[in-house]
Structure 1
């Protein structure tokens, strides 16, 4: 009998027996190696849903994951036992949005780990072969897991279109923010000014290349003499995140919103955004970015392991949810391991 972490409702995570479903044509079975606890997983835990995706019946979260193949996949040049990553976003491929190059916005997407579709916080999972992402042999299970959130960061920076040596503000230094920070450095921006209320996240941002790190947006205002910066990227879970990002953006500037706010609502002063004449973009998931994510990790341009602060056995998944929801000091990114926190196959 397998086990899994289930979300039953807001604030209710349980580790319990799990009946693995039968596979369907075009799928392959993975032994799960590691799973990331994502901010969106945390929103399901804290709020019971995100927009129209709500917990109606207990489901298994987890869309950031890696696993070992249980069979040969000659069509992908992969042998049984190979470590792989998985793209959780199975877009329909034929709607106008997909045809226009926006599979991340497909309204008919089947997304692994979003209700009602069970995710990877378990020991084994069936996934479409088309969603398998081969990774270099030297990659660890945690490297492969972190390709998905790194992909989100790459997509956000693609939307931002930073200019060479442009000064940038980053509001929020959680896992996605810290990955965005590293991607920004890799594309040659100038100063990167960041803010986050948690001291340990500010310290990590400085280690990863931020120019300055403050506790709130008032620090960015002070450093820019009240003018703000031409490009701001927001990556918080706070309803005030949009407001703070507006206040960090200069007149005529560009703003990219990446974070999902608690309660699924933003708090913004309309006049401040309107009078700045801002260009605002909303970022959701990612496009076809895995090859670049793999290269950034393989070349050492992004240190995904630096973002991982905690590692838990899968059975301790409910405790990991509780600690993140409580904003416990030191928490940045947690990974769960069904087969031991060293990530090795048993």
Structure 2
């Protein structure tokens, strides 16, 4: 019998036996190669849910993953044993929002690793063949895992539409923020002013090309002469993230909100927002971005490995969740190898 990491509720992660369900028509079985501990997994751990998606019974998280095919998919040109990635988002395809092309916003989505749908923090998982993403020869399990968060970053930058050489304030330098930083540079953004309270994350942002880094918004005021930036991208887990993004923005500026706040609540000074006349967008998941994510990795335009600070087996996974919840020094991204 295989095992899995279960979330039972807030701050309750346990490894226990896992009964693999029967496969359904149109599904293929994967041996999980690796799975990322994502910020949304952490919200399920810390808050017991995200909005209406709450833990009502123990479930297995994990939506950033790659795996080895247990059987061939000849219609996709894939042999048994091939390493593949998986798009966790299965939109219904029939609702009003899907017809508008907003598959990432589908209210009827079946999302692998979000309750009640078990995810990949286990040894084997059945996935729809339509969600299997073929990978080029030589791609590693780590890179396969990081395609999903990189896709989130690509979608955020698509929404941001950075102008050539435009200065950008980046609020939050966790894994998504660091990926956004790199995609912004590929997209032609100018100086990036990165803000994060943790020194090791600021250091990572500087190594990846941020022109200025600081622990708080004083760095934005210093660099811009207190006027703020035309474009601000927020990627924190803080209820103050929206406030900080507003305060970092120039009058008439644009803000893209990517992070999910702890407690599912934002704090926001209304007058500061109104008086700036800001244009605000919210990012949720991603669109059809895997081909671009794969190209960015294979062409070495984005370094996905540098932010992976911890790699652990399944038995160490509960402690990994705890480390992330405590914002332990040195922690940016953890990968879990369930079959190690």
- SS of the aligned residue for 1:201 comes to helix
Residue in 2 that maps onto 1:257:
257
**Contact 1:217/1:245, CA 8 A, preserved across alignment:** no
> Which whole-Å deviations, capped at 9, do the CAs of 1:279-333 have from their partners, x for residues lacking one?
0000000000000000000000000001111001112110100111011000000
Residues 93-126 of structure 1: per-residue CA shift (max 9 Å, x gap): 1111111111000000000000000000000000
**Residue 224 of structure 1 pairs with residue 237 of structure 2:** no
1:18-97 aligned at under 5 Å gives the runs 18-97=18-97
Is contact 2:231-2:249 (8 Å) kept?
A: yes
1:158 partnered with 2:132: no
2:131 & 2:104 partners in 1: Cα distance?
Answer: 14
Alignment of 1:91-240 (within 5 A): 91-240=91-240
> What residue in structure 1 maps to residue 3 of structure 2?
3
Contact kept, 8 Å, 1:155 with 1:283, in 2: the verdict is yes
Displacement after TM superposition at 1:81 (Å): 0.2
TM-score (norm 2): 0.99
Cα contact 2:197–2:215 (8 A) shared by 1: yes
Distance 2:282 2:318 in 1: 31
Q: 1:339 Cα shift?
A: 2.5
> 1:306 aligns to what SS in structure 2?
coil
| Cα deviation 1:126-171 (Å, max 9, x = unaligned) | 0000000001111000100000000000000000000111111100
Unaligned runs of 5+ in 2: none
Paired residue secondary structure (1:146): helix
Alpha-carbon separation, structure 2, partners of 1:136 and 1:250: 42
What runs of 5+ residues in structure 1 fail to find an aligned partner?
Answer: 341-346
Question: 1:312·1:335 contact (CA, 8 Å) conserved in 2?
Answer: yes
CA distance in 1, matches of 2:265, 2:302: 31
TM-score by length of 1: 0.98
How far residue 187 of structure 1 moved from its aligned partner, in angstroms, is 1.1
Q: Which residue of 2 aligns with 1:343?
A: none
Contact 2:149 2:176 in 1 (8 A): yes
Which 4+ runs in 1 deviate beyond 6 A?
A: none
Q: Given the alignment of the two structures, is residue 339 of structure 1 paired with residue 339 of structure 2, yes or no?
A: yes
| Deviation (angstroms), 1:83 | 0.0
Partner Cα separation in structure 1 for residue 192 and residue 336 of structure 2: 31
- Quote the offset at 1:225 in angstroms: 1.1
**Partner Cα distance (2:221, 2:20) in 1:** 52
Partners of 2:30 and 2:125 within 8 A in 1: yes
CA-to-partner distance for each residue in 1:57-110, whole Å, 9 max, x for gaps?
Answer: 000000000000000100100000000000000000111111111100000000
Hey, what's the Cα distance between the residues in 1 that align with 2:329 and 2:307? 15
What is the aligned partner in structure 2 of residue 12 from structure 1?
Answer: 12
Alpha-carbon distance in structure 2 between the residues aligned to 1:114 and 1:107 = 13
Question: Take 1:131 and 1:315, find their aligned partners in 2: how far apart are those partners?
Answer: 28
CA contact under 8 A between 1:87 and 1:132: conserved in structure 2? yes
